[in-house]
Structure 1
Amino acid sequence: MEVVGTCGKTTLSSGQTSNKPSNITSIYDDDDDVVGFEIHAQIIMNELIRGTKERDVISIYGMPGLGKTTLARKVYNNPSILNYFDVKAWCAVSQAYNTRTLLVEIFKQATSNKIKIKEDDDVADMLRKVLIGKRYLIVLDDIWDVEAWENLGICFPQGECGSRVMVTTRIEQVAKHLQHHSDPYSLSFLTSEESWELLEKKVFRGESCPPDLLEAGLQVALHCKGLPLVVVLIAGIITKTEREASLWLKVANGLCSFALGEQSMKVIQSSYDHLEDHLKPCLLYMALFPEDHKIPVDDLVKLWMAEEFVLNIGTKNMEEACRVCMSDLLNRSLIMVSGMRYYRDVQYCSLHDVVREFCLRKLTEDKYMQLIVPYNPYQHLHSSESRLCIYIHDDLVKQLNDSNYQLDKIPMLDFKETNSLEFIAHPKLNVWNNQYSNPLDLVVKLRFVRALDLMDVELPDSWATAIQSLTELRYLALCVKQFELKWISHLHNLQTLRLKSSEKLRLRAATLWEMTKLRHVNIDCFSVAWEDNEQESSPTSLLENMKSFGTCNIRFDNMNARFWWRFPNLEELCLSVKDVPEFPYFPIVEVHSHLHFLSLEFPLIELFNSFGWERFCVFPSNLRHLDLAKCLLTEEMVLNIARLKKLESLKLFLGFPSMRSYCWDVTNVEFPALKYLGLISVQIEEWKASEESFPVLEKLVISRCYSFKEIPPSFADILTLRRIELFDCTDSLGVSAMNIKREIEENTGCDSLHVVVVKQN
């Protein structure tokens, strides 16, 4: 791909003293200019010098090892900062701190040690008096909680002098809580070029890298994954090795084991120790996924639920409680966002290699055994009874196999504990050991596992017999040719069922109604036919726990209209419909008041020859996200969408290049809550809209629209519009986007709209 235009504002995208583990900044201190921080430093200095005259808090947050303290130190020592502020002070707060001790340290720096402090002096009041009327800069390095700021911040007087407090923290929520005028600043990873520049600088001390080491050096830098701490630690290792490419490549290939030396281990350990007990197994579990794996958040939440890291706290709250845990780990910068949905929810997350290696070491040290305290938001954190669990890993699998599943014969287990021992399965069972090409041989020995993901291997027809004994399953993902619900109907605790098949499946819904604990069902196969015979089950049978339901290639002509009534609390529904609507998809739309996400794919060609089908596409009124694929945008269909007054995102994938183009006129139509609009392969030749059509739109994405010539000029009047992205579109469409940007700048004086144009090579 080639970016042919990127416009908009610059975005880079108790009586003891602090027990900070070790001064990591010291490993950078021999360089005045730290590679990769120049732009960050300039942005922070602008906030310090050119911002509001009122006192402001400048927060820098990010995961351990990114160089937050180093960046703050670089800014703090800059000559322009030295000359600008009347008073400067720096103190390290950390997890354990004493407020008086910190205030004494700040007071001494603020007065250059000219005023002696007695034991009974009110240091807080003395500090306030020293700072009043002065332009001061106070740095609070490594704050872990809001309470620390509340204890210290009251001593820093307000005023119109342009004073600043600069804070570094690992926890995003702390940074956001401290926000006054300036937005918290998220420190990003180094680019591969910056990583190499820093590595070269550290190893060769100002000299250039010899040509014969260049390729190996680049490989070492690349494997550092943009974390400055790792770059510097590795530089210290290879500086002491002979300058041979083969040795450097060996370091690169074994980087994780090298990188977690004493320094970095302490950095991650301090964050881990500060976690609430219920978050520790959630984090360690993520390390079982492969290196650099983008973990789907939806799947991870369901796995956490299955393993009971979160207690069963009711129909409505299990998923929400898991997402609170996810948010807590993100806020502590221990896990990373690696993909966002277009409506701004986190879709994928991942672990940095250093954090993952720490977690794997932690599991090994604990012999893969843990006392797990499940999360219950309605009780005190420590009021829940803990569970003794062991993570199934390669060594245990081998010993299980050798001992014929007799736990008292397994050397690594203390037999006294086996009566209460529970198993936590690897999220991807078939990566445990290559010798288990047929995982069924192993599965039959794991009678008490709660989660089993076999989606990556097509199982033989004997799979159903093998899984008969796994009565505790809560999560089951299968790839099979044949499937019947009755084969798993005895799994009364099952919460999640994911199914993939290359065959046509006929499923009896009567069995489905018996599985009352099901929350998430996703069936991806050639075709699904539901047989719903009300004579075999009560017509009032409900699956009140069902939250999400999805099938690929489903036919509606064989489904009773009452089918959807059985899921009154459904929140997400994804269907690929293979027949033209002949009756309402939602006969009584009020039944699905909880439905917030709907994805529908229509049989496009059949719609051309059908009339009046739109009247069957009246959707539940509380929808917030709607995806429509291969659907004709007739006037009536557009009005059906516009009736959704809470709709925040709309994505339309409408056809093929061979379709005829048409005019899409929404001049007199309003989408009052729509923030995101995505148009993919739409055959619109002309688009008409007024400024009232999309009053709160924030982001417009257009992709592969070859007949599309112009974005409506009225988009320049949308005050909330912040981003337009064009992928593989006509040049004239890009020109119209830039015209809108230019008009917004002229009318408002603000460079608030970002325009991104991407062309396929």
Structure 2
Amino acid sequence: MNVVETCGKGTLLIPGSSVQRSFSSIDEEVVGFEKDAESIMQKLTRGTKKLDVISIFGMPGIGKTTLARKVYNIPSIVNHFDVKVWCSVSQEYDRRTLLGEILKQTTCKSEIIEADDRPDMLRRSLIGKRYLIVLDDIWDVKAWEDLDLCFPKGENGSRVMVTTRIEQVAKHLQHHSNPYPLRFLTRAESWELLLKKVFREETCPPSLLGATLQVAQHCKGLPLAIVLVAGRIIGEKDREASRLWLEVANDLSSYVLGEQSMKVIQSSYDHLEGHLKSCLLYMALFPEDHEILVSNLLKLWMAEEFVLNVDTENMEEASRICLNDLLNRSLVMVSKRSANGDTKYCILHDVVREFCLRKLTEDKYMQLTVPYNPYQHLCSTESRVCIYIHDDLVKQLDHSGYQLDKIPMLESNEIQCFGECPMSSLEFIAHPRFNTWNRSNPLPLLVKLRLVRVLHFPLAKLPSSWPSAVQSITHLRYLEIYVQEFDFKWISHLLDLQTLVVRSSNSLRTSLAAIWKMTKLRHLDIYNLSLIWDDNDRATFEDSSTTMLENLKTFRAHVIRVADRTPRFWWRFPNIEELRCFHIIDLPSFSLFPSVEVHTRLQSLNLVISPQGFWDSVGWESNFVFPSNLRHLCIGGCFMTEEMVLNIARLKKLESLTLEGGFHWEEIEHHCWDVTNVNFPALKYLALHFMRMEEWKASEESFPVLEKLVIRECHYFKEIPISFADIPTLRHIELFECTDSLVASAVNIKNEIEANTGCDSLRVRKLYGDGILKNKERDATGFLIKRR
């Protein structure tokens, strides 16, 4: 623990020294935090008069301490508080020492105070004073709990400012103000900081402008990386040599992760539990700047058995908890969120990724892990030695004739370092995005890696011999392939398979008969496959004991025929949570869910009828009866009738609804979607895509908690009901390729809300194309327009 800073107003106490100096003399470059500093200052000086905690959180090296120090030293802040204290808490701290140091700064006394007297003396020294106490780098809420009772709860505007890399700690400490997440620097801010650090008061030579900008861009907005790179360049004799800057730009990672940066990331890494270390190292094997789809990542973690001490029913939930832990510790970043706010894509910052790759390289890509095993006692600590499949391993396998015991990195002395495991127990962890996997024929390699758990071939079209190669890979938990032909019977021996994803450029037909053997299957995604219901299926289906997939959580089919299937087909997946069926053809004469209470765990349903089946859906709307616990629903390609709308409104837990096409056909000249007397009590997200209706009526009670409305290419109706201005929770309206009249109605709603509430709480966006737009401008109506 290191305690620095002030004793009273306007002075700086240097540890180990009696010298004091004014704040204005502190030599510290601060760039890009002007708006952040202004926001923090307002939290410190305005708002509630009660004691408040201002928490700043973010990944290591992003500038939390720099921002806090910048605000702490601003003259207006210095003069606002009677007492100011700065303490660096860090991961390891001693309560007695921490209290003593805070007390020393509070009272300006250096005498030794008995440990038992410190809490009461600190509290009495702060009573009646407006104080600001900064607790820098808190790792655990216990540090706060050790101090909380020492801080008087008066109403004179006292504040505690906290920096932490762990989001959950920031949320736990919240009093009145929300935790403040710190962003990355922009490219311009990164460039400015780099030039200030390297050239100080001098001007950057014009000949280096391009090279310096390139270096700044490679630092990815991380202040720590910029500072370390600047230090590397300043240490060179000729810092103005173009050769030096280009060299740094071309091989930046070797300089970014200097000794200081390594220690910063290492401290967070050491604080992780063992299974979280495995999860983090695994993510580093994705390509640089790769946005990782969370739903796939969680399945990969499960397949590699990184998820510990949970029963099979809750593996997905446990995996998401692992991801949230890494997000909370700011080691993993959110890249994109879904409509309901869940993390959809995540990404590793280059500095964290480089650290992880170095850790793997130091350990020669080996790792001692504790596996998940559903048949193992939960308290078991049995270990296994794993090796990651990487480029170096594949090259050595090629050179050694695919003999594992001939590989230098797998010599006996290396194995002994990892628990004295014999070679036969060495297990493999597949590379999630692996270039060598995508070579013309990776099958010879697979024959030698029989203990691999994941095969991930989303891009490389496998040769027709792939089924024979997979016969020996009996430990597979995750299989994603791109093939010309497929049949479930080719993989029915994979009894431990949890996730199956099959893609093809051809329209394939396959029987479901063999799938019933794969009782551990949890996620099934099939693209361009038409499922066949043949006599073998029917014969097997009669025996209910062998046709239940109780572990199946998600079922996705691109082309599916359901007309000749028994209504009880879906009953064979009693615990399914997500069902997506695109291009449903040959509609049956019965409901897909004849008993809505069978699928009480179904939360997400996506049903889209194919164009050739659209007209067959006339009169089928009465069969759209849904399981009662649905939270997310998408219906497309069918006529939307009043009866169907009422069936949807009966879903009291429904949070998001997407409607695609429907409402109108040639026999009806004018169709109005009237939900004036219909209530969607929990709906937060509503999307209307390509809807063929001429009028829309709604009341403020129709969507009482709606937060976001999305309309895409709806050219028939002219306006959004003005009652949307009375929805207090509405925050976003997005319009994709919509008419000017729809845009005008959205603007009217925005203006109405501002006139009634005085708040600019609604954001209206008009987008063209696919929504991935570059230039921003404001049109005559004053709201944001994005253009490609």
d(CA) in 1 for partners of 2:102, 2:170: 21
Residue-pair matches, total = 736
| Amino acid in structure 2 at the alignment position of 1:451 | V
SS of the residue corresponding to residue 317 of structure 1 reads helix
Deviation at 1:30, TM superposition (A): 6.6
2:751 to 717, 742, 746: 742
For the pair 1:419 / 2:414, whether they are aligned, the reply is no
d(CA) in 1 for partners of 2:476, 2:34: 52
Contact preservation (8 Å) 1:504, 1:528:
no
d(CA) in 2 for partners of 1:109, 1:364: 46
Deviation at 1:740, TM superposition (A): 2.2
1:132 to 127, 130, 133: 127
Contact preservation (8 Å) 1:282, 1:309:
yes
1:501-558 deviation line (CA, Å, top 9, x unaligned): 2233332222111111111110001533343633235431210000001010212124
Which residue of structure 1 aligns with residue 563 of structure 2?
A: 557
Deviation at 1:666, TM superposition (A): 1.2
Once the two structures are superposed, the pairs formed by residues 397-546 of structure 1 within 5 Å of their partners are 397-415=394-412, 417=421, 418-429=423-434, 431-432=435-436, 436-525=439-528, 527-531=530-534, 533-540=537-544, 541-546=547-552
Which residue of structure 2 aligns with residue 4 of structure 1?
A: none
d(CA) in 2 for partners of 1:41, 1:242: 32
2:301 to 301, 304, 307: 304
1:179-224 deviation line (CA, Å, top 9, x unaligned): 0000000001111121112122222224443332222222111111
d(CA) in 1 for partners of 2:36, 2:255: 28
1:308-367 deviation line (CA, Å, top 9, x unaligned): 111473342111111110110010000011111111111111100000000000000111
1:213 to 208, 211, 226: 208
For the pair 1:687 / 2:696, whether they are aligned, the reply is yes
User: Unpaired segments of 5 or more residues in structure 2?
Assistant: 5-14, 16-23, 768-785
SS of the residue corresponding to residue 589 of structure 1 reads coil
Which residue of structure 1 aligns with residue 112 of structure 2?
A: 117
d(CA) in 2 for partners of 1:247, 1:437: 40
Runs (4+) off by over 6 Å: 16-19, 375-382, 655-661
Which residue of structure 2 aligns with residue 9 of structure 1?
A: none
1:88-144 deviation line (CA, Å, top 9, x unaligned): 00000011001111111111111223x623345511111100001100000000000
Deviation at 1:712, TM superposition (A): 1.2
Alpha-carbon distance change, 199 to 706 in structure 1, aligned in 2, over 3 angstroms = farther
d(CA) in 2 for partners of 1:101, 1:76: 23
Deviation at 1:732, TM superposition (A): 3.4
| Stretch deviating more after TM superposition (697-706 or 542-551) | 697-706
> Quick one: higher RCO (CA 8 Å, sep 6+), 1 or 2?
1
- What percentage of residue pairs aligned between the two structures are identical? 65
Once superposed, what is the RMSD of the aligned Cα atoms?
Answer: 2.7
| Amino acid in structure 1 at the alignment position of 2:342 | D
Contact preservation (8 Å) 1:92, 1:141:
yes
| Stretch deviating more after TM superposition (250-259 or 734-743) | 734-743
Alpha-carbon distance change, 556 to 329 in structure 1, aligned in 2, over 3 angstroms = same
Contact preservation (8 Å) 1:223, 1:252:
yes
1:246-292 deviation line (CA, Å, top 9, x unaligned): 44233222222220011111110000001111110000000011111
Which residue of structure 2 aligns with residue 11 of structure 1?
A: none
2:160 to 141, 162, 165: 165
| Amino acid in structure 2 at the alignment position of 1:359 | C
TM-score by length of 2: 0.89
| Stretch deviating more after TM superposition (403-412 or 274-283) | 403-412
| Stretch deviating more after TM superposition (74-83 or 694-703) | 694-703
Which residue of structure 2 aligns with residue 347 of structure 1?
A: 344
Deviation at 1:301, TM superposition (A): 0.8
| Amino acid in structure 2 at the alignment position of 1:178 | L
Once the two structures are superposed, the pairs formed by residues 236-385 of structure 1 within 5 Å of their partners are 236-239=231-234, 240=236, 241-311=238-308, 313-374=310-371, 383-385=380-382
d(CA) in 1 for partners of 2:375, 2:177: 35
Alpha-carbon distance change, 480 to 170 in structure 1, aligned in 2, over 3 angstroms = same
Alpha-carbon distance change, 512 to 703 in structure 1, aligned in 2, over 3 angstroms = same
d(CA) in 1 for partners of 2:475, 2:514: 19
Alpha-carbon distance change, 30 to 553 in structure 1, aligned in 2, over 3 angstroms = farther
Deviation at 1:478, TM superposition (A): 0.8
| Amino acid in structure 1 at the alignment position of 2:543 | P
For the pair 1:674 / 2:683, whether they are aligned, the reply is yes
Deviation at 1:380, TM superposition (A): 11
1:620 to 598, 605, 627: 627
| Amino acid in structure 2 at the alignment position of 1:399 | Q
Alpha-carbon distance change, 507 to 267 in structure 1, aligned in 2, over 3 angstroms = same
Which residue of structure 2 aligns with residue 7 of structure 1?
A: none
Once the two structures are superposed, the pairs formed by residues 72-221 of structure 1 within 5 Å of their partners are 72-113=68-109, 116-119=111-114, 122-221=117-216
d(CA) in 1 for partners of 2:694, 2:540: 52
Contact preservation (8 Å) 1:661, 1:683:
no
Deviation at 1:655, TM superposition (A): 7.0
Contact preservation (8 Å) 1:529, 1:555:
yes
Contact preservation (8 Å) 1:18, 1:94:
no
TM-score by length of 1: 0.92
SS of the residue corresponding to residue 498 of structure 1 reads strand
1:594-624 deviation line (CA, Å, top 9, x unaligned): 1101111112464346531111221111110
For the pair 1:733 / 2:738, whether they are aligned, the reply is no
Contact preservation (8 Å) 1:67, 1:229:
yes
| Amino acid in structure 2 at the alignment position of 1:288 | L
Contact preservation (8 Å) 1:494, 1:517:
yes
For the pair 1:637 / 2:644, whether they are aligned, the reply is yes
d(CA) in 1 for partners of 2:376, 2:718: 58
d(CA) in 2 for partners of 1:379, 1:270: 32
Deviation at 1:234, TM superposition (A): 1.5
Which residue of structure 2 aligns with residue 233 of structure 1?
A: 228
| Amino acid in structure 1 at the alignment position of 2:187 | S
Deviation at 1:369, TM superposition (A): 1.0
| Amino acid in structure 2 at the alignment position of 1:259 | V
| Amino acid in structure 2 at the alignment position of 1:184 | P
Deviation at 1:295, TM superposition (A): 0.7
| Stretch deviating more after TM superposition (189-198 or 280-289) | 189-198
| Stretch deviating more after TM superposition (404-413 or 129-138) | 404-413
| Stretch deviating more after TM superposition (689-698 or 601-610) | 601-610
| Amino acid in structure 1 at the alignment position of 2:702 | S
1:17-53 deviation line (CA, Å, top 9, x unaligned): 799xxx9xxxx99755611100000000000001100
| Stretch deviating more after TM superposition (120-129 or 580-589) | 580-589
d(CA) in 2 for partners of 1:179, 1:259: 34
Deviation at 1:445, TM superposition (A): 1.2
d(CA) in 1 for partners of 2:60, 2:375: 31
| Stretch deviating more after TM superposition (650-659 or 544-553) | 650-659
Deviation at 1:87, TM superposition (A): 0.4
Contact preservation (8 Å) 1:53, 1:162:
yes
Contact preservation (8 Å) 2:50, 2:154:
yes
1:389-408 deviation line (CA, Å, top 9, x unaligned): 11122222222233334333
d(CA) in 2 for partners of 1:565, 1:657: 33
1:591 to 594, 598, 603: 598
